[in-house]
Structure 1
Amino acid sequence: MADEVRTGGRGAGARRGVVGGSVEVRGGWAGLLGMVPVLLLIGGVVLDVFGPVPYAGLPLLSAGPLAACMVLTFRGAVLTAAAACVLAVCVDVLVNRPLTALVVNLLDVAVISAIALWLKWVVQRQGQRFAAVRAVAEVAQRAVLPPPPARVGAVSVATRYECAHAEALIGGDFYAVRNSPSGVRALIGDVRGKGLPAVSTMAVATSAFREAAEQAATLPELAEYMERALARFAADVGDQPDALEQFATAVLVEVSEAEGRVRLHHRGHPPPYLIRGGRVTLLEPSAPGLPLGLGMPEGVGVSGCDTFPFHQGDYLLLVTDGVTEARDRQGTFYEPRTRLADRDFRTASEVVNTLVADVTDWAGGRRHDDMAILALTTVR
């Protein structure tokens, strides 16, 4: 997405990831972990030959293939399992054990190795399927919530989308930016609920915004167009559970560089913030409207627009409640007006990156709700 960065914490000594059902380690620890199966096999041989009791090394020989399935590729695990079986036979021959003991020991190592390899194969298949599903989800995300350009007209745009769950790529939060004869228009919102119904409602809302942003004369007219689109969607899926409860809060924005003004139309969403000269001001609505998609008659619950000065060097910051409802360990809500005050921002991207890092630090790395952020500033 425009100026969007998704980051994750990594240790300084190694980088780890799950690939094909095994733990892939890059960095200084890779060689050490790769030696664990070899050390187990060597230890098993030494204990079996020189140990105080017979068969003392058999557990280590059996553990070698198990460890290999955790830290090596499937081919490496197969080679380790074969080596463990060969070593088990060689040790029994070396210490002159009877044929029955040799067969039993070989079967012990072979059965454990086979089980470990089968489990690795199953996990590897699941990992491949998850990777395929994730790739499809990434395509769906860009289709449903395409990244806005870094610059629209005279406005610089920066965005970030962070899901509450690391496995998810998209939820019910949304944003969009579009140029129009009246100025650059933007949208941020949040659909009630989670899962596919929320994503479907979000797709309808953003599609309606993009379609009507250039034609609607005013922001309230644009919001009414989105309202009608959501009403049609609700009628189409009215027989599905919770269909009537899928509504969305939103703030519609119109930036006019020529006038040096920004107009806001609120539909039940948290107000945006104006960052100017180190001060952060909450742009509260004079008469907030109702959320979109409630099925109200046309004109009911609709507010007008609030207009504020917006000049070069000002930043308009729009967020969803994943930001404002983030809590620290004492349960205190995050407050952008105090946390972002007295900071010198040079770009919209810097505003977004600073906010994400600060919210993450405030919440101790925990996130209980999706978080969408949109920052706008005028450029020459």
Structure 2
Amino acid sequence: MGKRDGQRGAAVEGARTRRFVRALPVLMIAAGAVVDLMTAPNVSAIPLFAAAPLIAAPFFSLASTVRTAGAALLVVVVIRAAHGTIGRVAPLTELLTLVTVSALALVINGVVRRGNEQLASARVIAETAMRAVLPTPDDRIGGLLVAARYEAAQADEFVGGDLFAIVDTPFGVRLVVGDVRGKGLEAVGAVAVVIGAFREAAEQESSLEGVAQRLERALAREGVRRGGLDSVEGFVTAVLAEIPAGSDVLRIVNRGHPEPILLHADGRLQVLAPGVPALPIGMGLGVWPDRSDEWTMPAGATLLVFTDGLSEARDARGAFYDPADRLRGRIFPGPEELLSALTDDVRLHTGGRSTDDMALLAVGRPARGQKGPRKTVKIVGRDGG
């Protein structure tokens, strides 16, 4: 209900805004005609007529802007002819002013249209890049059930610094969920560096700590290539996890990231806080060695890893969303159902007003006889677009 209500409210508000903008140039022309007809001939409403094409220019098509300018000119000519003043200097000056403003409106319309075309092209490129960097994971990897989501804060913003990846390696299933500082195509580039380094290191490094250090070095090389990234701009918060095959062991290295949650089949919940807090990747190279923490992940349990777009989502009163509190005691058939319920719940909490992207990755150890449904990963906006 929360998702549908948020989408319905946003759609209604957007429709009202569009109707108002569509009607505004007509209202300006009508108001100008009323003022001119109801007042003395020496009183001019030309500012109202001039405003009509200027308002239409950034929102209407070229043809609609031309029609608006033409309508404003026609009304002014008819009124001046009715007053018998069309041949006088002042009305002619007003008409010249309106023609000039209309020409300026057409120029503005052309600039806006070209800008919109360029922006649309950039968005397509950005979305394509994001989908290439964050490919859809299989629903079963190394015998584990997998579900992933990337949700953009806005329908027209598909690019951010959130990331996830999961691979089956000789050392078990390994995954990373992280958040690169920044937005835009530069953030996508950094995401690509981190995920590329993770996929390579996950196959080669015998320990999860070794994978984390490989990511450190990869990010340091990227900083040198880009002319140097300081400790404020070049960091990545991340959780790396490892689930060895045939074992109920769960290992985690947390580098300054929100704490993952382990949901048990009976509704119990654990917040997996690191034993020793660590700095984000890119800020802790050489400061101390990474140390993984170990937990037990029995059959039927699901690991949930997320970015701060979830844990820092606020409601209308400014209260943060607490995933542990909202999920405690609840039981889900599998990772996909967990993420569906979670994304609906956070929309209900925020009223659809979230301003940060969020990446979610859920990995479940199947209970006996459990099967994983087919699914897809979506990159969507808060209004469902």
Under TM normalisation by the shorter chain, which class is it? 0.7 to 0.9
Quote the Cα distance in structure 2 between the aligned partners of 1:236 and 1:13. 48
Quote the Cα distance in structure 2 between the aligned partners of 1:76 and 1:93. 26
Residue in structure 1 matched with residue 108 of structure 2 by the alignment = 119
Q: How is 1:1-380 mapped onto 2 (pairs within 5 angstroms)?
A: 10-13=9-12, 15-16=14-15, 25=18, 29=19, 34=22, 36-38=24-26, 40-41=28-29, 44-45=32-33, 48=36, 50-54=37-41, 55=43, 58-69=46-57, 72-100=60-88, 101-162=90-151, 168-191=157-180, 199-237=188-226, 239-242=227-230, 246-256=234-244, 258-276=246-264, 277-287=266-276, 291-294=280-283, 296-297=285-286, 300-312=288-300, 314-327=301-314, 332-362=319-349, 367=354, 370-378=357-365, 380=371
RMSD after superposition: 3.7
Given that 1:286 and 1:306 are in contact with CA atoms closer than 8 Å, whether structure 2 keeps it comes out as no
Give CA deviations for 1:238-283 in whole Å, capped at 9, x if unaligned: x525179634332222335643443333344333101223332112
Given that 1:190 and 1:320 are in contact with CA atoms closer than 8 Å, whether structure 2 keeps it comes out as yes
Matched position secondary structure for 1:249: strand
Given that 1:321 and 1:371 are in contact with CA atoms closer than 8 Å, whether structure 2 keeps it comes out as yes
Residue in structure 1 matched with residue 382 of structure 2 by the alignment = none
Farther off after superposition, 61-70 or 172-181: 61-70
Give CA deviations for 1:142-182 in whole Å, capped at 9, x if unaligned: 34333434443433333333566876533333211112244
Residue in structure 2 matched with residue 4 of structure 1 by the alignment = none
Given that 1:254 and 1:262 are in contact with CA atoms closer than 8 Å, whether structure 2 keeps it comes out as yes
Matched position secondary structure for 1:13: helix
Cα–Cα, structure 1 residues 62 and 171, in superposed 2: closer, same or farther, change >3 Å?
closer
Deviation (angstroms), 1:317? 0.7
Residue in structure 2 matched with residue 20 of structure 1 by the alignment = none
Farther off after superposition, 276-285 or 164-173: 164-173
Q: TM-score with structure 2 length normalisation?
A: 0.76
Quote the Cα distance in structure 2 between the aligned partners of 1:11 and 1:39. 25
Given that 1:69 and 1:120 are in contact with CA atoms closer than 8 Å, whether structure 2 keeps it comes out as yes
Structure 1: gaps (5+ residues) = 1-6, 18-22
% identical equivalent positions = 39
Cα–Cα, structure 1 residues 82 and 376, in superposed 2: closer, same or farther, change >3 Å?
same
Cα–Cα, structure 1 residues 62 and 223, in superposed 2: closer, same or farther, change >3 Å?
closer
Given that 2:162 and 2:359 are in contact with CA atoms closer than 8 Å, whether structure 1 keeps it comes out as yes
Quote the Cα distance in structure 1 between the aligned partners of 2:86 and 2:222. 77
Quote the Cα distance in structure 2 between the aligned partners of 1:36 and 1:333. 39
Quote the Cα distance in structure 2 between the aligned partners of 1:266 and 1:66. 54
Cα–Cα, structure 1 residues 9 and 123, in superposed 2: closer, same or farther, change >3 Å?
farther
Q: TM-score with structure 1 length normalisation?
A: 0.77
Given that 1:287 and 1:304 are in contact with CA atoms closer than 8 Å, whether structure 2 keeps it comes out as no
Given that 1:201 and 1:247 are in contact with CA atoms closer than 8 Å, whether structure 2 keeps it comes out as no
Given that 2:171 and 2:245 are in contact with CA atoms closer than 8 Å, whether structure 1 keeps it comes out as no
Structure with greater contact order relative to length (CA < 8 Å, sep ≥ 6): 2
Equivalenced residue count is 359
